[in-house]
Amino acid sequence: MTLHTLSELIDEGVRGRYVLIRSDLNVPLDGSSVSDDGRIRASLPGIKALADAGAKVLLSAHLGRPKGTPEAKYSLAPAVARLAELAPGLNATLAADTTGPAAKAAAAALADGSVLVLENVRFDARETSKNDAERASFAAELAALTGDNGAYVDDAFGAVHRKHASVYDIAKLLPSYQGDLVRTELEVLTRLTTDTERPYVVVLGGSKVSDKLAVIDNLIGKADTILVGGGMLFTFLAAQGHKVGASLLETEQIPVVKDYLKRAEAAGTTFVLPTDIVVAGRFAADADHEVVAADLIEASSFGASGLGLDIGPVSGAAFAAAIAPAKTAFWNGPMGVFEFPAFAEGTRVVAAALAATTAKGGFTVVGGGDSASAVRTLGFTDDAFGHISTGGGASLEFLEGKELPGLSALER
């Protein structure tokens, strides 16, 4: 895959030119404030490079999943406010719409070296449309904002797995380039799939096993050890014949998981499942809870109504021991409901083990999304790990071996 780079674009000259950069501002909010600005900070170097080179920077991004019409709770305003705090010299402002009169007027008045953020691209239903013509018409409106000599930079790795107008169709209309964030993500993920230094340990968590099936399938025989936590672990326990109470369970996936466990043994990949679980009587931060053996969840004081909300301390120690010898480690998905302090310990232990592996020279990757939020919420700094991905779903699809539309669109 040959992709032109941001450095090439800047070397060609961008002063006075409009450059539309697709960035990832899809950040979690606490009310009207950004609760984790990791994706904004990761996007800043590309934005600053263009602004410092004198480009008129138009920034497109999404936040959340609006229904194709403007919704105040999904406005990019909080993200732009945080962007302005992190880099006041950018003079970043937010247009009141995406490609409408406000955006056109603001773009026309944009000074060299300044940044105009277009309002949430998903406020327009054409952005995510399955209809090629509809997406193309929206992409044409975005391209029109750049005038006669515009360019496009994709620096939103978290969106490259989407065939959306601002990711895929726009690249057909403007000279297109790969941003440095996207380049770094690809380099990191390639290290996880090609000539990976062993032992290679993968930690998978999160709520649904169905979200991880394809990546598990692709990792069997490649990873030495796969540790399973989070809500998805209960489908694995059920596949082993254990009762899981009222814990999250995808019954229809039990046969698939049974097959994975059987195939892994033959392929030399070891699955490590929790041996103890933190079980609660209800889903709440202040819920009564206790630690029970993984095969005795319904023997807890909560009976069949018990909910598994974290891995237990014995399991946490076992997971840390499994991570310790790793030369390469990839983690996607928290071990429990880390947002509730009572059920965050399993996630904290895994994060600490990965940080220790990094300190010993191991290559560790935290796979974006909830995992990235979790490590920051629990007080870990980004430099405690080899790389914190902004990708989430895009990272998983890369590891599954899928083609990513946003990347293929950049080839020319």
Q: Please indicate if the annotation marks 379 as binding a ligand.
A: no
Rounded to whole angstroms, how far apart are CA atoms 65 and 221? 36
Domain match, 112 and 206 both: no
CA 355 and chain centroid, separation: 19
- The answer to whether residue 408 sits within a structural domain is no
Q: Please indicate if the annotation marks 162 as binding a ligand.
A: yes
Contact assessment for residue 230 and residue 205, using Cβ atoms and an 8 Å cutoff: yes
Tell me: the pLDDT tens digits for 153-175? 999 999 999 999 999 999 999 99
369 catalytic? Reply is yes
376 catalytic? Reply is no
Q: Please indicate if the annotation marks 85 as binding a ligand.
A: no
Domain match, 324 and 285 both: yes
CATH number of domain containing 298: 3.40.50.1260
Active-site choice (17, 22, 38, 39): 39
Show Cβ contacts of residue 72 under 8 Å, excluding neighbours closer than 6 positions: none
- Hey, what's the torsion of the CAs at 164, 168, 172, 174, to 10 degrees? 90
Active-site choice (54, 100, 281, 393): 393
Tell me: the pLDDT tens digits for 135-157? 999 999 999 999 999 999 999 99
39 catalytic? Reply is yes
- The answer to whether residue 405 sits within a structural domain is no
Domain match, 177 and 201 both: no
Q: Across all residues in the chain, what is the average pLDDT?
A: 95
Element (H, E) at 259: helix 254-267
Active-site choice (172, 208, 222, 263): 208
> Mean pLDDT throughout 350-355?
98
- Cα–Cα separations (whole angstroms), residue 146 to 92, 256, 400: 17, 49, 35
Q: Please indicate if the annotation marks 22 as binding a ligand.
A: no
Domain match, 174 and 221 both: no
Residue closest to 309 by CA, chosen among 362, 244, 364: 244
pTM (2 d.p.): 0.90
Show Cβ contacts of residue 188 under 8 Å, excluding neighbours closer than 6 positions: 365, 386, 387, 389
**Number of domains comprising the chain:** 2
Tell me: the pLDDT tens digits for 389-401? 888 788 889 988 8
| Per-residue confidence (pLDDT) for residue 122, from 0 to 100 | 98
| Per-residue confidence (pLDDT) for residue 369, from 0 to 100 | 73
- The answer to whether residue 358 sits within a structural domain is yes
Q: Which of 183, 213, 239 is the last residue of a domain?
A: 183
Range of the domain at 168: 6-183
Would you tell me how many other CB atoms lie within 10 Å of the CB of residue 77?
15
Q: Please indicate if the annotation marks 24 as binding a ligand.
A: yes
- The answer to whether residue 98 sits within a structural domain is yes
Rounded to whole angstroms, how far apart are CA atoms 194 and 222? 10
For residue 82, what are its two tokens?
A: 């945080």
Tell me: the pLDDT tens digits for 81-107? 999 999 999 989 999 999 999 999 999
348 catalytic? Reply is no
- The answer to whether residue 412 sits within a structural domain is no
Active-site choice (369, 391, 392, 406): 369
Q: Please indicate if the annotation marks 75 as binding a ligand.
A: no
Residue closest to 385 by CA, chosen among 349, 356, 348: 356
- The answer to whether residue 158 sits within a structural domain is yes
Collapsing DSSP states into helix, strand and coil, what is residue 58? strand
